């Protein structure tokens, strides 16, 4: 189904629908399941997102790569029977709007909240994600409180980035921030971050822009309405326990996630809204 000159809807062999973008500026894929972008490649440049070669694109299961949407909680819920990272990343979203101009394409999706089990989320709200695609990718996740009582939530845009060699990859721009690692801390980040072991750092008071230095080039990662971010690589042992993840996939990826977690959790008053934004691009 053609939605605009550069945008159409296709299906994987497993039956999942995705929006395919092939414009003068970029190529991209956005899955309706999870409202999840899995490919973004600016024309003439390398891909900016990573997906595991072991990914099966199965119905009802989170996709290992791209930008999963963690909402309305990040990580494990206090109720162990609730899905990790919330329900938004496995439900099927609805295509809401596609707008194409000469310079960019905007694709908007909305989560059909009436299909969500009220056991998980008893609040009246709406959730919308916008992808603004040009030579860079901007993702905007907007939550609205439609009810008469406030509610709180945590969230993350769980971005998977590619690298040719995790041992020669560094992240700058986190110096001076505090972080929690494996439930311990807070610690102070004093230096550029490299990767020599399992990394699972939740940063608070982080500045708005970080840079990932990889052998292929430098990637800028910026955030708006977010003072927290997450840096993750499962390393050797955890890789063996992850689904849809090859034992050596840790060598070719890392996650740097725009988030609102810990003391950066969002509380929305009635009729208020909040938009979490991340923008990624190659530098140079």
Task: Convert the pLDDT of each residue in 67-113 to its tens digit.
Answer: 999 999 998 888 888 888 999 999 999 999 999 999 999 999 999 99
pLDDT digits (tens, 9 = 90+) for 103-157: 999 999 999 999 899 999 999 999 999 999 999 999 999 999 999 999 999 999 9
Spatial neighbors of 268 by CB under 8 A, at least 6 apart, are 125, 143, 144, 145, 150, 151, 152, 153, 274
Q: Which residues contact 130 (CB under 8 A, 6 or more apart)?
A: 106, 107, 108, 138, 139, 140, 142
Ordered by where they begin, the domains of the chain are 2-283 (2.70.98.10)
257 labelled catalytic: yes
pTM for this structure?
0.96
Q: Are 73 and 153 in contact (CB under 8 A)?
A: yes
Q: Is the N-terminal amide bond of 186 cis, ω within 30° of 0?
A: yes
Higher-confidence position of 194 and 77: 194
Question: Which member of 257, 263, 269, 274 is catalytic?
Answer: 257
Tokens of 99: 């707008």
**Alpha carbons 39 and 27: distance in angstroms, whole number:** 7
Residue 169 and residue 214: Cα distance in Å, rounded? 5
pLDDT of residue 268: 98
Annotated catalytic residue 198: no
**The one catalytic residue among 100, 123, 158, 263:** 158
Q: What is the CA radius of gyration of the chain?
A: 18
Identify the band that residue 3 occupies on the pLDDT scale cut at 50, 70 and 90: confident
């Amino acid at each position: 189904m053609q939605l605009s000159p550069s945008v159409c809807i296709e299906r994987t062999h497993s039956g999942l629908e995705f929006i395919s973008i092939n414009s003068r500026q970029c190529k991209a894929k956005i899955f309706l399941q999870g409202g999840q972008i899995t490919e973004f490649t600016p024309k003439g440049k390398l891909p900016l997102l990573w997906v595991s070669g072991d990914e099966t694109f199965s119905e009802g299961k989170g996709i290992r790569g791209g930008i999963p949407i963690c909402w309305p909680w990040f990580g494990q819920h206090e109720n162990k029977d609730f899905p990790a990272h919330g329900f938004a990343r496995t439900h099927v979203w609805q295509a809401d709007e596609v707008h194409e101009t000469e310079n960019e394409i905007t694709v908007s999706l909305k989560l059909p909240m009436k299909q969500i089990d009220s056991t998980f989320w008893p609040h009246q709200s709406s959730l919308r994600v916008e992808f603004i695609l040009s030579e860079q990718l901007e993702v905007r996740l907007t939550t609205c409180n439609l009810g008469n009582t406030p509610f709180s939530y945590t969230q993350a845009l769980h971005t998977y980035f590619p690298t040719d060699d995790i041992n020669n990859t560094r992240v700058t721009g986190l110096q001076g921030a505090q972080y929690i690692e494996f439930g311990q801390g807070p610690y102070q980040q004093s230096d550029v971050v490299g990767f020599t072991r399992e990394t699972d750092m939740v940063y608070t008071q982080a500045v708005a822009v970080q840079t990932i230095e990889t052998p292929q080039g430098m990637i800028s990662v910026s955030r708006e309405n977010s003072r927290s971010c997450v840096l993750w690589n499962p390393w050797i042992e955890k890789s063996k326990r992850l689904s849809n993840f090859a034992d050596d996939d840790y060598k070719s990826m890392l996650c740097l996630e725009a988030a609102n977690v810990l003391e950066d959790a969002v509380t929305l008053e009635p009729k208020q809204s909040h938009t979490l934004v991340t923008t990624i691009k190659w530098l140079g």
